[in-house]
Structure 1
Amino acid sequence: MTTVVDINRTLGPLPHDDVPSRDEDGLLAELDRLRIDTACVVHSHAVHQDPRDGNEALDRVGSPRLRPVPVLVPGPLGTGPWSGGAPLVRLCPRRHGWSLTGPHARRLLAALAAGGTTVLLARDETTAAEVSALAALSPAPRVVLTGTGYRALRELAELLEICPRLSVDTSTLCGHRQVEWIAGRYGAHRVLFGTGAPDTDDAGPRHLLDLLDLPAADAALIAGGNALRLMGAGR
């Protein structure tokens, strides 16, 4: 049986909507409804409020189906020195007001790369030039770019060409055969199932997963195999 892992999910209340995933039980019920085995979750407080408070809330998550993804902020007003312990982290430089190419960020990214930790980074939090700069670092961190969408497909294709450690999630790859095209050109190992829920729709990406016109082995990698590999690599 194929394992389905949502690499891009949020737990907790949203400031602009009442969502089922405002608490752990509600999120687990949503995963059951959509036949998702595991979700890698950031806490909404870490994204929309103080990352330190949201990361502490993740420490209270009880279900092994929910894999905590802390939100990190570099610098003296950030979340503190990175000591490892999580295979996936999320960065929100624009929302939290710091530079992805600044000196504090470079030290953090070097530590993440050295520890084998993967970075989740939303397209609206960065630029193509910044992503290219990350790829030029030595060592370069693994990055999963989320929320790309069809309007960014040309930009995404160029980044995938020049950034070998860059992958993409499926949260907004809803155009006709977009996932198949990326998997065919760059490899299924660079596409991960992710919904971006509840900020974006979860049923659409989940339905698309069932309809992928790809070899079974490739579809299984996208559904969960790639995410499980990344989570294991960070341990």
Structure 2
Amino acid sequence: MTVVDINRLLGPLPYDEVASRDAAGLLGELDRLRIDSAWVVHTHALYGDPRDGNASLTDADGGRLRPVPVLVPGPLGTTGSDTPVVRLCPGEHHWPLTGAHALALGDALARARTTVLLGWESATAAEIHRFADAVPALRIVLTGTGYRSLRDLAELMDAHEELSVDTSTLAGHLQVEWFAGRYGARRVLFGTGAPVTDDAGPRYQLDTLELSGADTALIAGGNALRLLGQGPNP
């Protein structure tokens, strides 16, 4: 079973000393938890200037660490990206997810078949609904949703077929199984949110899911590889 963490940070944190402050330390953490590869956002892009953080992703190991740039729309934002995965951070960088520039960016990303990571705390459920409604072909993975969001999250996933969710905070009893059963395992992706959130818990959960081997393999890494064009497209 290939395991891909689609929600990982690389770089120093402003409030803690972490092993993943550099690529070597992060690779050691992946080895410790038997994670084959990770999609990484640089902490400087999340907490500072996205342009500096995106440039720092050159430190990532192209074999196991896939750089995920943070994009900011509009003339004062970042330049475009030709990577298959990007992250949008409207809350952190103070731009409207449903503004004209954001919708234009979303349309361009949808046409390029780019996957977007979007943190649950970075926008309201209503904003996510309007954004996904305006660009229905855009593939969005909502990360860090947590148990308090399940009603809103279920409504969004009912309404938008291209919305998926990561497992980083789906820690309640059989929550991952519920989402896989209702929406299909192809719309659930393994992610940890580490080092901001725990990585050992989601990794252990992956080994104990009450799902078929095929569905577990999709969640563990098959879906991530499919979004990169490296696996079958069911």
Same fold, TM-score > 0.5, yes or no: yes
Q: Is the CA contact 1:170–1:195 (under 8 Å) kept in the aligned structure 2?
A: yes
TM-score by length of 2: 0.96
Take 2:135 and 2:148, find their aligned partners in 1: how far apart are those partners? 30
Unaligned runs of 5+ in 2: none
Pairing partner for 1:225 from 222, 226, 231: 222
Query: CA offset at residue 89 of structure 1?
Result: 0.4
Give, in angstroms, the shift of residue 58 of structure 1: 0.8
Q: Is the 8 A contact 1:134 1:141 kept in 2?
A: no
CA change 1:138–1:21 in 2 (3 A) is closer
Preserved contact between residue 114 and residue 139 of structure 1 (Cα < 8 Å)? no
Shift of 1:75: 1.1
1:136 shift after superposition: 1.5
Query: 1:89 and 2:97 equivalent?
Result: no
Contact preservation (8 Å) 1:89, 1:118: yes
TM-score under structure 1 normalisation? 0.95
Displacement of 1:138 in angstroms is 4.2
The answer as to 2:111 corresponding to 1:114 is yes
* Post-superposition offset of 1:88: 0.7
2:101 is equivalent to residue 136 of structure 1: no
Which structure 1 residue ranges, 5 or more long, are not aligned?
none
Do the aligned partners of 2:103 and 2:135 also contact (CA within 8 Å) in 1? no
Distance (whole Å) between structure 2 residues aligned to residue 89 and residue 61 of structure 1: 15
Q: 2:151 aligns with which of 149, 154, 162?
A: 154
Paired residues of 2:136 and 2:160 also in contact (CA < 8 A):
no
- In structure 2, what is the equivalent of residue 22 of structure 1? 21
Question: 2:157 & 2:62 partners in 1: Cα distance?
Answer: 34
Q: What's the counterpart of residue 172 of structure 2?
A: 175
- Provide the rounded CA distance (Å) in 2 between the counterparts of 1:210 and 1:61: 27
Distance in 1 between the 2:120 and 2:228 partners?
21
Measured in 2, the distance between the counterparts of 1:76 and 1:85 equals 18
How many aligned positions are there?
230
Which residue of structure 1 lines up, in the alignment, with residue 42 of structure 2?
43
Q: Secondary structure at the match of 1:13?
A: coil
CA contact (8 A) 1:38 1:65 kept: yes
Q: CA deviation at 1:139?
A: 5.0
Identical amino acids, percent of aligned pairs = 67
C-alpha deviation, 1:64, in angstroms: 0.9
Out of 208, 211, 222, the residue aligned to residue 211 of structure 1 is 208
Q: CA deviation at 1:63?
A: 4.2
Question: C-alpha distance in 1, partners of 2:190/2:224?
Answer: 8
1:79 equivalenced with 2:63 (yes/no): no
> Secondary structure of 1:3's partner?
coil
Detail structure 1 runs of 4+ shifted over 3 Å in the superposition: none
